[in-house]
């Protein structure tokens, strides 16, 4: 839908997000409730260009923004404006028993003065679905991209003055089945990361080859309905992270194996609330003995509250294990929560406000890296002029605090976006 996603690939991640998306996203939609963002607005949807059995959807996002701390450091603070142009297109077909979507895009961000912060990102991918029977379906995806790691990430080298850009190749397959009161899913995927070297504030080049890795994952979920509006599920997952080169000469890297088990419930109990919540246990074992293994509780949840037909409030929580980029620690627990309110002021005018908080707790005997706390808040509006043009306005505030002075900073950003689509 026009204007609902005016962000480019270069935009920072939200609190609680990691470089690798969840292996099996939570599911709770039973067709009973509809959020503000899910609501269809056919009078503002792109019609596309018909090309035989396919439909082409071209689109260009343009942005004019300003940051009062483009380097995301404590001091000295440097403010600058920027422009972003992001053309993209998707080619889709959707039949009764199958669907196929091909997409590609580019985003170029240029700062007015601080040109070393310029970004170039792109993506190209395909995903498809095949319904083998009325109860069995298969899905697959492939995507190649060049992205920017958000400065708020606890894994970002603090000395880097340039954006942390990286290549990501991902491929995955999912099988789903339903029968009676039971539903199940199996998924397998691969993510490969290759980080570009960056310049430091001192002018030297920082080699990031030690962060390059391949991640292999497999997961399964079994779900049983206990009533028409509630089901319980068990989810098991395995992850293998294989680093391609040593951390440094004579120092092994953080190659590891991880298992995670979650027990949860999915519900859509009334016209007021729906969601899914789960909790369990995660353990990451490192191949090299110099890195202490990490284990503890894990969680993932998303709940939507429908205050009225025109207002949706969404709360999320997540706790995962992430690898660190500091030599004296193996990794950290990223524990996060967020809340977002979306309101439909007019049929073509949507307002939102959101806030999130994340604590990154480093693990490992003798680890000297202090915990990092990240606050993020923002508000904005989206206005649909017609099927072709949409506008968006937003303001956001990021705050990163830590006992280490070098880790702390605040940043305020303002953004105006115009979307053109066909």
Kindly indicate the confidence band of residue 30, based on its pLDDT and cuts at 50, 70 and 90. low
3-state DSSP helix/strand/coil % of the chain, to nearest 5: 5, 60, 35
- Average per-residue pLDDT in the chain? 90
Per the listing, tokens 């170029």 go with 108
pLDDT at 219 over 60: yes
Total number of residues shown for the chain: 422
In this prediction, residues 294-309 reach a mean pLDDT of 94
pLDDT of 10 reads 40
- pLDDT category of residue 7 using cuts at 50, 70 and 90: very low
Between the alpha carbon of residue 269 and those of residues 172, 184, 310, 319, 342, the distances in Å are: 32, 21, 19, 25, 21
Q: Give residue 193's Cα distance to chain centre.
A: 15
Higher pLDDT, 1 or 392: 392
For the entire predicted model, the pTM comes to 0.90
CA-based torsion, 276, 397, 392, 150: positive or negative: negative
Buried b (16+ CB within 10 A) or exposed e, 227-266: eeeebebebebebebebeeebeeeeebbbbbbebebebbb
User: How many Å apart are CA 58 and CA 237, to the nearest integer?
Assistant: 37
Which residues share a beta bridge with 356?
Answer: 338, 376
DSSP letter for 12, please.
P
> In this model, does residue 240 exceed pLDDT 70?
yes
**In this prediction, what percent of the chain has a pLDDT beyond 70?**
89
pLDDT at 223: 92
**11 against 378, higher pLDDT:** 378
- Per the DSSP assignment, residues forming a β-bridge with 83 are 64, 110
pLDDT at 283: 97
Q: What is the pLDDT of residue 325?
A: 72
Task: For residue 5, name the pLDDT band (cuts at 50, 70, 90).
Answer: very low
Q: Per-residue pLDDT tens for 49-84?
A: 999 999 999 999 999 999 999 998 888 999 999 999
Torsion over CA: 381, 385, 388, 389 (sign): negative
Q: Is the pLDDT of residue 186 over 70?
A: yes
* pLDDT band at residue 150 under the 50/70/90 scheme: confident
End-to-end, the C-alpha distance of the chain in Å comes to: 11
Check residue 1 and give its pLDDT: 54
pLDDT for the residue numbered 18 = 64
Is the pLDDT at 366 greater than 60? The verdict is no
CA distance 258 to 23: 13
Provide the b/e sequence for 193-213 (b: ≥16 CB within 10 Å): bbbeebeeeeeeebebebbbb
Q: How confident is the model at residue 419 (pLDDT cuts 50, 70, 90)?
A: very high
For residues 368 and 114, the model is more confident at: 114
Mean of pLDDT values over 42-51 = 93
* pLDDT at 214 (0 to 100): 98
Across residues 42-48, what is the average pLDDT? 93
Reference 158, options 106, 202, 192; nearest CA is 202
Residue 6: the pLDDT is: 46
If DSSP codes are grouped into helix, strand and coil, which group holds residue 210? helix
Q: How confident is the model at residue 4 (pLDDT cuts 50, 70, 90)?
A: very low
In angstroms, rounded to a whole number, what is the distance separating the alpha carbons of residues 155 and 164?
10
Helix (H, G, I), strand (E, B) or coil at 209: helix
Distance CA 359, CA 332 (A): 10
Split at pLDDT 50, 70, 90, the class of 9 is: very low
């Amino acid at each position: 839908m026009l204007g609902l996603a005016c962000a480019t690939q270069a935009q920072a991640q939200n609190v609680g997000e990691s470089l690798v998306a969840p292996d099996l996203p939570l599911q709770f939609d039973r067709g009973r409730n509809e959020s503000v963002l899910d609501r269809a607005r056919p009078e503002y949807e792109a019609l596309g260009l018909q090309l035989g059995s396919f439909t082409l959807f071209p689109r260009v996002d343009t942005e004019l923004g300003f940051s009062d701390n483009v380097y995301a450091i404590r001091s000295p603070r440097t403010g600058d404006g920027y422009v972003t142009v992001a053309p993209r297109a998707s080619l889709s077909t959707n039949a009764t028993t199958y669907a196929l979507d091909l997409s590609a895009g580019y985003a170029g961000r240029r700062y007015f003065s601080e040109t070393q912060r310029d970004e170039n990102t792109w993506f190209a991918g395909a995903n498809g679905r095949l319904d083998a029977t009325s109860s069995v379906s298969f899905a697959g995806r492939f995507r190649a991209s060049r992205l920017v790691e958000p400065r708020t990430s606890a894994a970002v080298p603090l000395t880097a003055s340039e954006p942390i850009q990286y290549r990501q190749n991902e491929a995955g397959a999912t099988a789903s089945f339903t029968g009676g009161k039971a539903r199940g899913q199996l998924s397998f995927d691969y993510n490969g990361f290759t980080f570009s070297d960056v310049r430091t504030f001192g002018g030297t080049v920082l080699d990031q080859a030690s962060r390059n890795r391949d991640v292999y994952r497999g997961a399964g979920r079994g779900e049983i309905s206990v009533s028409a509006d509630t089901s319980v599920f068990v989810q098991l997952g395995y992850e293998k992270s294989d680093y391609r080169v040593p951390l440094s000469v004579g120092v092994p890297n953080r190659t590891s194996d991880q298992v995670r088990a979650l027990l949860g419930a999915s519900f859509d109990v009334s016209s007021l609330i729906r969601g899914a919540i789960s909790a369990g246990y995660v353990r990451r074992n490192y191949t090299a003995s110099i890195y202490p293994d990490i284990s503890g509780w894990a969680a993932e949840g998303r709940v939507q509250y429908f205050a009225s037909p025109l207002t949706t409030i969404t709360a999320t929580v997540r706790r995962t294990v992430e690898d660190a980029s500091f030599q004296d620690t193996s990794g950290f627990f990223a524990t996060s929560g967020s809340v977002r309110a979306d309101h439909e002021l007019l049929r073509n005018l949507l307002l939102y406000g959101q806030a999130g908080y994340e604590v990154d707790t480093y693990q490992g005997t003798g680890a000297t890296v202090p915990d990092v706390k990240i606050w993020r808040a923002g508000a904005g509006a989206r206005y649909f002029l017609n099927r072709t043009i949409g506008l968006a306005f937003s303001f956001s505030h990021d705050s990163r605090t830590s006992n280490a002075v070098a880790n702390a900073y605040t940043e305020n950003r303002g953004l105006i976006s115009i979307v053109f689509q066909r």
